[in-house]
Amino acid sequence: ASAVEVAEAHLDRIASVDGQINAFLHVDRETTLAQARRVDERRAAGEELGPLAGVPIAHKDVFTTEDMPTTAGSKILEGWRPPYDATVTARLRRAGLVILGKTNMDEFAMGSSTENSAYGVSRNPWDLDRVPGGSSGGSSAAVAAYEAPLSTGTDTGGSIRQPAAVTGIVGMKPTYGGSSRYGVIAFASSLDTPGPFARNVLDAALLHEAFSGHDPMDSTSVSRPVPPVVEAARRADVNGLRVGVVREFAGDGYQPGVTARFNEAVELLESLGAKVVEVSCPHFEYALSAYYLIAPSECSSNLARFDAMRYGLRVGDDGTRSAEEVMALTRAEGFGAEVKRRIMLGTYALSSGYYDAYYGKAQQVRTLVKRDFEAAFEQVDVLVSPTTPTTAFPVGERADDPIAMYRADLCTIPANLTGNAAISVPCGLADGLPVGLQIMAPVLGDDRVYRVGAAVER
Ligand code: GLN
């Protein structure tokens, strides 16, 4: 099929179901079809395009796109049209992928349900009364609802793996620095990591490979070659591989169906020839608390740039008010409650007199988590756990309980603090809803999680 035909089929699907799902914040048929026509022309002219040329993709609305608006799910960026493409966007455009639109997300990627979006909640295609996870919930819902075959997300504290798990798709957090942050609206710069969503592991690997690799525009970009993720996904064997089950990620707080599916995945790994052992990572239980100091601290600094002067919303600029007053009014109206909570927490944690007790301590925990990973990877090749303690929760259930919301990230956050590669792959249903298996590998061991994921995905 031509790129135009494939794009049209997906645009039609979006038109028929997105009224219920609300995965997209921006869809523009003409812009998408113009891109698709261009790809068909490039192909007709004999240009060598990659394996994903002509395949449609939906981008989380945190990636800048020069032909579409970018809001990061916030009112403060409403109407902003970025003058440039993110590196991820630009590379995929060059590879011939066709952008279907921009997807919904928790404001500035802060959340686990998309309920913090300024533009309404996205719905889980498996049950419209439940959340599709977050913060990249529009991207997970779009792929799970067959509105898009592929999408992008960012994973700062689980925001790719958790939404993938609860919508029954594949989501991967590359090694930190393996994918470029250039043109990704910043949340917590030492953690933010772009990554792929797809309906199977091989597709995710193809997408991963298409946007990864060194980028001189990102000072923390890794200069080593991209791990051979596509080859690993094709290989899909675990014979002789040593797999560690994280002892701390089980027990209280885990839905029985999640534990049951996880145990079956472990048995499957064993039956395929993997050597499974239990591994203890004693500091993983402190990772969540450390993250909820580090991420807000970095966000309080990054979000200072939304000053009502440079982009987006400006409130109260009637000629009678000072710049400071306009700034305060704009930030009061433009930021939602969770973003304000994080800015206040972060500012507090970084303030003199509290820095050592909060931010400093959190960074020490980060080092201990890193040592746990290093010790574990002396014994095993990959670590596995459930991706999330529970399946998708009902819309509204945790909306007024930030701590309950944060607990959705329990198993995903250790890999963020240390920059390790980690994937979530579907491993069956519990009470009719999808369960995710998380596979974690050392830094730059991205290929391993694809190899194992492809062997056990359901
Ligand atoms: N739930 C995490 C948070 O709210 C997820 C963040 C993310 O990965 N973008 O911070």
Q: What is the distance between the alpha carbons of residues 45 and 214, in angstroms, rounded to a whole number?
A: 29
The set of residues, in sequence order, having a beta carbon less than 8 Å from that of 410 and lying 6+ positions away, is 249, 253, 288, 388, 389
Q: How far is the CA of 112 from the centre of ligand 1 (A)?
A: 6
The set of residues, in sequence order, having a beta carbon less than 8 Å from that of 361 and lying 6+ positions away, is 290, 293
Q: Say what percent of the chain tops pLDDT 70.
A: 100
Binning pLDDT at 50, 70 and 90, where does residue 443 land?
very high
What is the arithmetic mean of pLDDT over 209-232? 98
What is the arithmetic mean of pLDDT over 390-409? 94
- Helix ranges (H only) for 60-151 are 87-94, 137-144
User: What does residue 439 show for φ and ψ, rounded to 5 degrees?
Assistant: -120, 125
pLDDT higher than threshold 90 for residue 310: no
Closest atom of ligand 1 relative to the 111 alpha carbon: 4
pLDDT higher than threshold 90 for residue 136: yes
pLDDT value, residue 156: 98
Closest atom of ligand 1 relative to the 408 alpha carbon: 1
pLDDT value, residue 30: 98
Closest CA to 195 of 234, 169, 231: 169
Beta strands 242-246 and 382-386: pairing type?
A: parallel
pLDDT higher than threshold 90 for residue 277: yes
Q: Say what percent of the chain tops pLDDT 90.
A: 98
What is the pTM assigned to this prediction? Answer: 0.98
- Helix ranges (H only) for 386-445 are 402-406, 413-418
Cβ 195 under 6 angstroms from ligand 1: no
Q: What is the distance between the alpha carbons of residues 86 and 88, in angstroms, rounded to a whole number?
A: 5
pLDDT value, residue 312: 85
pLDDT value, residue 269: 98
Which of 112, 410, 417 for a ligand 1 pocket mutation test, highest count of atoms within 8 Å of Cβ?
112
- Cβ(106)–Cβ(154) below 8 Å: no
Give the CA dihedral 172, 456, 449, 149, nearest 10 degrees.
Answer: -30
What is the arithmetic mean of pLDDT over 405-432? 97
Q: At residue 106, what is the residue type? A: D
Q: Which segments within 70-134 are labelled E, that is strand?
A: 98-103
Cβ 110 under 6 angstroms from ligand 1: yes
Cβ 101 under 6 angstroms from ligand 1: no
Cβ 346 under 6 angstroms from ligand 1: no
For 163-178, what is each residue's pLDDT tens digit? Answer: 999 999 999 999 999 9
pLDDT value, residue 132: 98
For 278-307, what is each residue's pLDDT tens digit? Answer: 999 999 999 999 999 999 999 999 999 999
Q: How far is the CA of 288 from the centre of ligand 1 (A)?
A: 11
Q: What is the distance between the alpha carbons of residues 281 and 249, in angstroms, rounded to a whole number?
A: 9
pLDDT higher than threshold 90 for residue 317: yes
What is the arithmetic mean of pLDDT over 231-248? 97
Q: How far is the CA of 135 from the centre of ligand 1 (A)?
A: 6
Binning pLDDT at 50, 70 and 90, where does residue 458 land?
confident
Closest CA to 426 of 261, 206, 254: 261
Cβ 109 under 6 angstroms from ligand 1: yes
Closest atom of ligand 1 relative to the 338 alpha carbon: 4
Q: What is the Cα Rg of the chain in Å? A: 21
pLDDT higher than threshold 90 for residue 43: yes
Binning pLDDT at 50, 70 and 90, where does residue 205 land?
very high
Q: How far is the CA of 166 from the centre of ligand 1 (A)?
A: 15
- Cβ(62)–Cβ(102) below 8 Å: no
Cβ 155 under 6 angstroms from ligand 1: yes
User: What separation in angstroms does the CA of 103 have from each of 1, 50, 198, 274, 394?
Assistant: 25, 24, 15, 38, 20
Closest atom of ligand 1 relative to the 160 alpha carbon: 8
Q: Which segments within 61-185 are labelled E, that is strand?
A: 98-103, 150-154, 170-173
Q: How far is the CA of 295 from the centre of ligand 1 (A)?
A: 8
Which of 135, 172, 187, 345 for a ligand 1 pocket mutation test, highest count of atoms within 8 Å of Cβ?
135
- Cβ(191)–Cβ(157) below 8 Å: yes
Cβ 135 under 6 angstroms from ligand 1: yes
Cβ 338 under 6 angstroms from ligand 1: no
Cβ 112 under 6 angstroms from ligand 1: yes
User: What separation in angstroms does the CA of 163 have from each of 80, 171, 403, 435?
Assistant: 26, 8, 18, 11
Beta strands 194-198 and 150-154: pairing type?
A: antiparallel
Q: How far is the CA of 108 from the centre of ligand 1 (A)?
A: 9
Q: How far is the CA of 33 from the centre of ligand 1 (A)?
A: 33
Closest CA to 300 of 274, 273, 339: 339
Q: What average pLDDT does the chain have? A: 97
What residues act catalytically?
A: 60, 135, 159
ipTM score here?
Answer: 0.97
